[in-house]
């Protein structure tokens, strides 16, 4: 579980106690998804922009000082001036630039951290999140306690929890009803801000083929 406390004064003797949970009639704070920091893409982009800009400014300053331009810039200028727009190199370079631009826009407009589910806010100055794998393991352990369940697979997504259980005895309808009840209780106890929908499938184990005589 991930918690993100807001800045607060350090705890010292005589300091004010932690704030109590919000009253029942108080408006529930809006819970948003956690945003990824994305340090690696930001660092790579900053390094590329800084290096390209520095190299270009150095070459421009050298030309202003009556020195010849670098070979790569002369070659690039000649290529852009002589190559047609439908040239393979021009089209490939434009496609790469478009893909990189779209990727950066998607990173800037989406929160990321899909593996962390936001939890209900009991305190207005504390945010908490639950890892999806931890939620899957917790719900799996709860479903395994149902009588008749031999094995179970639980997949927790952002909007849905999918459970596939195998029952080796008891009626499938009874097992499914018990699994749905346990699953509903388990999801509620996770304390998620947006409780996901639930789908349950219960089946018999596959029959083993008899040995050939």
The string of pLDDT tens digits covering residues 95-110 is: 999 998 898 888 878 7
pTM exceeds 0.85:
no
Handedness of CA 123, 126, 132, 134 (dihedral sign): negative
Confidence of residue 23 (pLDDT cuts 50, 70, 90): low
pLDDT in tens, 49-66: 899 899 889 888 888 888
Q: What is the crossing angle of helices 88-109 and 39-64, to 10°? A: 130
**Would you say 187 and 198 are in contact if contact means Cβ atoms under 8 Å apart?**
yes
Given a contact cutoff of 8 angstroms between Cβ atoms, the answer to whether 107 and 35 are in contact is: no
- Of 54, 44, 52, 99, nearest to 76 (Cα)? 52
pLDDT cut 90: percent of the chain above it: 34
Q: Contact, 143 vs 198, CB < 8 A?
A: no
Separation CA 174–CA 59 (nearest Å): 77
- Are the C-beta atoms of residues 165 and 179 closer than 8 Å to each other? yes
């Amino acid at each position: 579980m991930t918690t993100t406390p807001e800045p607060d004064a350090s705890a010292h003797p005589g300091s004010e106690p932690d704030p109590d949970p919000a009253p029942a009639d108080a408006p529930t704070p809006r819970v948003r998804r956690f945003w990824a920091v994305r340090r690696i893409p930001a660092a790579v982009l900053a390094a590329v922009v800084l290096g390209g800009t520095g190299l270009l400014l150095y070459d421009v300053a050298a030309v202003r000082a009556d020195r010849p331009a670098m070979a790569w810039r002369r070659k690039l200028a000649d290529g852009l001036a002589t190559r047609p727009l439908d040239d393979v190199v021009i089209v490939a370079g434009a496609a790469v630039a478009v893909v990189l631009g779209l990727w950066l826009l998607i990173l800037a407009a989406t929160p990321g951290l899909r593996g962390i589910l936001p939890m209900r806010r009991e305190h207005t100055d504390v945010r908490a999140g639950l890892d999806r794998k931890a939620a899957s393991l917790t719900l799996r352990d709860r479903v395994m306690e149902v009588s008749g369940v031999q094995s179970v697979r639980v997949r927790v997504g952002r909007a849905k929890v999918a459970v596939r259980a195998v029952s080796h005895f008891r009626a499938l309808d009874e097992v499914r009803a018990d699994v749905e009840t346990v699953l509903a209780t388990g999801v509620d106890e996770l304390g998620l801000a947006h409780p996901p929908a639930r789908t349950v499938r219960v089946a018999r184990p596959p029959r083993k083929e008899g040995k050939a005589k």
